[in-house]
Amino acid sequence: MQTDCPICGEKFEDPKKLNKHIQTKHKDKIKLIKLEHPQRDKR
3-state secondary structure of 2: coil
Where does the pLDDT of residue 29 fall: very low under 50, low under 70, confident under 90, or very high at 90 and above? confident
pTM above 0.85, yes or no: no
Residue 16 pLDDT greater than 90, yes or no: yes
What are the residue boundaries of the structural domains of the chain, listed by start?
Answer: 3-36
* H or E element, residue 11: strand 11-12
Residue 24 pLDDT greater than 90, yes or no: yes
Q: What is the DSSP letter of 40?
A: P
Where does the pLDDT of residue 14 fall: very low under 50, low under 70, confident under 90, or very high at 90 and above? very high
Q: Give the residue among 10, 4, 6 at the shortest CA–CA distance from 33.
A: 6
* H or E element, residue 3: strand 3-4
